[in-house]
């Protein structure tokens, strides 16, 4: 019996990990080819920001419904359905930036990509929280580390693909791998992450002060991470004269540092707690962005990107864990926090893009530390609690 349970735990961990990893591959494959898409479509920084808004809008729309969808379907079925959207959107974006260049078609493709990814994001985080409770220790950042590892792999492949493969062939191939791999992986999702009984509790979750404050903190942390995803490659191409392949490598540095932080982070979280660890990483991120923008040295700037990635590593996963504290309304809370957090992905691209059109993309990145420092006041809301089912 013990061996059977242990195998069940291992299968659940592997299934969630693969789902996280492939979601990261899909998203990062698009982000790493943004400079090529910009050139193919002939967009300036402002127009590119508006285009990227399409993906953020799709993700934000998904967040509005993902909690209810995950509650009713369960994480497994929700992930199965949503990954088909991810693959379809990625393939459409590939054709629309490569074989048949079209800004409107690209916008549609990345909108669908964002919608599918957003729904899958909530489903896999709800399942990850269930697995974390099943194991009885902090593992959520490691699932997000696998997501980051997926982005590292995708960034590396994109750097190669930028030199040898058309955008269309690259993104269509990624879409096929992501869809097939995810559909297999979710078969091992644990029954503890299945559909919850009764009402979803979404409206009640929107009235919980702690849930809303966690969402606000996650918004700032998502903006910190999303700004790098959207703009770090472009900023180094424009601000430091890097080529498209080198820009993709810089993006890889960011996600590699973020992956490292998520691998080692659970040990620090279990030893010192969420509040001091997350506050420290936020300060690292603020300092890293400042170094990347103000150093004037490409080497020091890349080191700043590494600090940025390390400092960004724990905020989002710890926010998801905190939202999922307790045994009731888990999908609802994660959905609410995701909706608030994804507002950053909705607003971030055009804010940085429009600012970049006036001062340059690289200096525009300084908006990140300006948001991070005041948000430190919200970190205490992450303190662990057992259950919030009785909150009104």
Is 90 exceeded by the pLDDT of residue 378?
yes
Average pLDDT over residues 122-149: 85
pLDDT exceeds 90 at position 81: yes
Residue 224 pLDDT grade (very low, low, confident, very high; cuts 50, 70, 90): very high
The per-residue pLDDT for 345 is: 65
Residue 334 has pLDDT above 50, yes or no: yes
Cβ contacts of 257 within 8 Å, gap of 6 or more? 305, 306, 307, 308, 309, 310, 313
Measured between alpha carbons, how far is 121 from 58 in angstroms, rounded to an integer? 13
Cβ distance 129 to 321 under 8 Å? yes
In tens, the pLDDT along 342-377 reads 777 667 767 888 888 888 889 999 999 999 999 999
Give yes or no for residue 147 having a pLDDT over 90: no
Find the mean pLDDT for residues 174-198: 80
For 290-309, letters b (16+ CB in 10 Å) and e give bbbbeeeebeebbbbbbbbb
Q: Is the pLDDT of residue 200 over 90?
A: no
User: Please, which pLDDT band fits residue 21 given cuts at 50, 70 and 90?
Assistant: very high
Residue pLDDT, tens place only, 202-212: 778 888 999 99
Task: Give the pLDDT mean for 264-289.
Answer: 94
Mean pLDDT of 15-28: 93
The CA-atom distances, in angstroms, between 235 and each of 67, 97, 99, 259, 301 are: 35, 20, 26, 21, 11
Average of per-residue pLDDT values in the chain: 86
Structure-token pair, residue 16: 């969630």
In tens, the pLDDT along 239-276 reads 898 888 888 889 889 978 988 999 999 989 988 999 99
359 burial via Cβ count (<10 Å: 0-12, 13-18, 19+): exposed
Residue 195 is given by DSSP the state P
Are 289 and 201 a contacting pair, CB within 8 Å? no
| 42-46, 222-226, 229-233, 248-252: the lowest-pLDDT one | 42-46
Question: Is the CB of residue 239 less than 8 Å from the CB of residue 292?
Answer: no
Instruction: Quote the CA–CA distance of 144 and 193 in Å, as a whole number.
Output: 17
Ramachandran bin of 296, using left for φ above 0, alpha for ψ from -120 to 50, beta for the remaining angles: left
pLDDT above 80: residue 392 = no
More confident residue, 8 or 54: 54
């Amino acid at each position: 019996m013990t061996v059977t349970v242990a195998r069940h735990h291992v299968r659940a961990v592997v299934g969630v990990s693969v789902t996280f990893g492939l979601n990261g591959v899909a998203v990062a494959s698009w982000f790493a080819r943004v400079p090529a898409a910009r050139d193919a479509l002939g967009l300036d920084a402002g127009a590119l920001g508006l285009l990227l808004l399409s993906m953020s809008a799709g993700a934000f729309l998904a967040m509005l419904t993902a909690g209810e969808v995950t509650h009713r379907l369960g994480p497994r079925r929700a992930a199965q359905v949503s990954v088909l959207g991810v693959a379809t959107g990625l393939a459409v974006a590939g054709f629309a930036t490569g074989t048949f260049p079209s800004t409107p078609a690209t916008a549609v493709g990345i909108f669908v990509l964002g919608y599918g990814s957003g729904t899958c994001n909530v489903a896999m985080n709800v399942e990850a929280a269930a697995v974390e409770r099943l194991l009885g220790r902090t593992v959520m950042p490691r699932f997000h580390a696998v997501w980051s590892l997926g982005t590292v792999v995708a960034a590396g492949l994109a750097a190669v693909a930028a030199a040898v493969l058309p955008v269309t062939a690259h993104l269509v191939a990624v879409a096929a791998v992501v869809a097939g791999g995810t559909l297999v992986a979710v078969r091992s999702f644990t029954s503890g992450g299945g559909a919850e009984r009764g009402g979803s509790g979404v409206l009640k979750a929107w009235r919980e002060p702690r849930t809303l404050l966690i969402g606000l903190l996650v918004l700032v942390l998502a903006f910190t991470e999303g700004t790098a995803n959207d703009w770090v490659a472009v900023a180094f191409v424009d601000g430091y004269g890097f080529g498209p392949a080198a820009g993709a490598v810089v993006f890889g540095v960011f996600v590699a540092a973020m992956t490292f932080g998520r691998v080692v982070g659970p040990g620090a979280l279990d030893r010192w707690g969420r509040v001091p660890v997350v506050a420290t990483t936020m300060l690292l991120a603020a300092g890293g962005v400042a170094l990347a923008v103000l150093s004037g040295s490409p080497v020091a700037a890349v080191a700043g990107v590494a600090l940025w990635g390390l400092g960004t590593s724990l905020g989002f996963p710890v926010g998801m864990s905190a939202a999922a504290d307790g045994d009731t309304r888990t999908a609802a809370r994660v959905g609410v926090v995701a909706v608030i957090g994804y507002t950053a992905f909705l607003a971030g691209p055009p804010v940085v893009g429009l600012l970049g059109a006036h001062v340059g993309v690289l200096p525009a990145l300084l908006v990140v530390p300006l948001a991070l420092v005041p948000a430190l006041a919200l970190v205490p809301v992450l303190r662990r609690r057992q259950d919030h089912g009785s909150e009104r």
